[in-house]
Structure formats: structure tokens, C-alpha cells
Structure 1
Amino acid sequence: MRKQIIYLFFLLFYSLQSCQSLSVSSDIPVVQNNKKVGFINQAADVKCESCYALRMVKANGKDLTFKVPVSLNNINNKNIFQEDYELLPEQSANGLSVRYNSLTTSDSYIFKIKKIKNNMVLTKVSKVSSTVYHHKIAKDDYADYPATSICEKEVNYILPDNQEINLNQYFISGDKNCFMCPSKYSVEECLEKKKTNAKFNWQ
């Protein structure tokens, strides 16, 4: 029995040590003006006007570096570095999709990236967000419905090696193709209906 207790204690100690090592090794630096000013989820006493973290995404044997905006949020009377977006990469047969999901709003920004002639090329940028659609039922008669706003823009940007990809760099232009879709449809269903010019059922 004593040996079992010692063995269990050893396993617990080893697990705690492993967790600590993982925590230390997974510290993500926060950068501002090309200088490290702290780490994600740690307290800081600095002005954070243009802070960001760098996230690496592998695609077709290349490393792509994405900037993720960072803010200082007051938690338990401490200013804590937190990322403003969750970065979600997804590789498929059609290429790489990288989604910036806002952690404070319903907005999602999506990069579509393909490998073309040994270059990593940004082929489409999209923005998806929740909103309310003021739908006209009849003359002087309107109804508000929950909706999804979808904006897309076809682009052709070669992403240079070793260049940091900035969210705002590709989403500052207003000449995107936008439309409203009832929120009862998925984004994929909205895009399919838009492609076939099918009418949306708002009621």
C-alpha cells in the first residue's frame, strides 16, 4: 500500500512538472513597435495601443506568420494581455482557410490561401457578422429579422516569405461584394443560395 501511495505521488509530481513545462514553453510574446512588452495571459503595466501576438501557421511546407491584435483587459484589478481574436486555420483540398474570430463581437474575418506556382497566394478575403435586416414586406411596412452579413472580395496577393500578415492590411477596402442572409441559414447555405440567385425566405 505504501509503495502504491509513493508511486501515485510520483505520478502526480511528474504531471505537475509536465504542465509547468508546457505552460512555460507555450508562452506567447506580445509585441509593440517591434519590441516584446509581455506575454499573453500575463499582467503588464504598459500602454498597449498597437500590441499584437504572432501566430505561425504551416501550409504546404511553408510557415505563415499572422499578427493577432492584443488588448489589455482588466481582470481582478490587473491589466492582462489578451488576444482580440481566435486564429483558426483549416487545411483542405481547396487550400488553406485562416479565420480570425473576434472574441468580443460576432465578426469573423477569413483568408483563403492557395499555393500557386510555388507562391502562397491570398485569393479571397471574407467578413461574416451577425446583424439585423430591415426587410420590406409591403409599402411602408417593414420587419426586422436576425441576419448574417457576408462580404467577399476576390484578390490576388502573393504573400512574400517571412512577411507578417496583418488583418487590417486586407480588410480596409470597402469595395467588397456584401449581402444579407437570414440567420437561420448556415454561411455555406447562404453562399450557395447567393451563387444560384435563389431568394431568401425571411419569414
Structure 2
Amino acid sequence: MRQNLARRAALVDAAIEVLARDGARGLTFRAVDAAAEVPNGTASNYFANRDDLLTQAGGRIYERLRPDEATMEAMLSGPTTRARTAELVREVVERVAAFKTGYLALLELRLEATRRPELRAVLTARVSEDVEANVTGHLASGLPGDADAVKMIYLATNWLIVERLTLPDVFPEEEARNLIAALVERLIPEDRPA
């Protein structure tokens, strides 16, 4: 059966919204149909089962989180200093946190992945690719810091994003910005004199 790719994408995006709003238990074909504003039964025509929908939602979140080429170029221009690294980390945290429903849906999917091996495989591959791309890009950019520093920043900022999205009063925006600067300062060596 031929399927409309735009409609499939809209259904997966609707699934992300349902996951963020209602959690994994609330993700049903009927809920996705309603969120996508399509006739009942549409999602069941596009996805073999709920696992298929969960897996595709997991992949789509990472597609939407990945910056476009222009954003990547802009991020990698400028001085290769510790201060610039902190600025880039703040930009990434803000960009990811701006896709609130996507990140909250991803948290739901991560929990669901503990029970669903296929979903765990998709998320493991995506997260591994993301970490590797971050390390490779950082090292290639000439920014200070090694692979371990990049991974530690990744781990710390991911939890900071969770706090900002779920309990924003724990680390208000200004404190979060200061914590990112302190994190980078502690993990990245001082700039060498030119």
C-alpha cells in the first residue's frame, strides 16, 4: 500500500506530542489520530503496531533535535576558547529545551525502552551517534577539551535540561547559565596565550 510520507511524518510528530502530554501509556492510535486531526484508524494504517509507532517516534525526535547545516556552521565559527565552548553549550541546552515536547517524549521513550528491546536498540544507536558526533565535532573544531570532557558536559547538561523542563524553579535560568559556565571552566583547560 502506498503511503503519504507527509502524513506519516505528521502522525509521528503527533505521537511525540501525545507522549509528552500523556506519557507512554497514553500513546494509542486513537490519541495520535486525534492529535494529528485525521480520521480514526489513520495511524493504524501507517504503523504495524504500537511498538512500531514508539520506535519511529524515537527516531524522529533525534531528527528534529539535530541542527541544520547553517546552525552548525554558525555554532562552529568564532574563537576556539573556553568561553566560546561555554557559549556553545548554553546554545545547545537552550535549543534542546526549546523542543520541550520532544525532550519530554524522549524521557518517556527512554523509560519505555527498558521494557522494549527494539526501542532500546533504536535509542541506543541514536544516542551513541549523537555522543560520537558531539565528540568528533568538538575535537575537529579546535575547541579546547578532550573527548571525556565533551562526554561529561553531555551528561551534565542532559540532566540540567530535565530540571529546566520538569522543575524549572530548582535551577532558574540565570543560575543554569552560570552552572554551565562553571561546568565548562572545571572540565576544559584554560586558554593558551596566543
The TM-score, its normalising length taken from structure 2, stands at: 0.24
Q: Which has the higher strand share?
A: 1
Q: Give TM-score, length-normalised by structure 1.
A: 0.23
| Higher helix fraction (1 or 2) | 2
Q: Which has the higher contact order (CA 8 A, sep 6+)?
A: 2
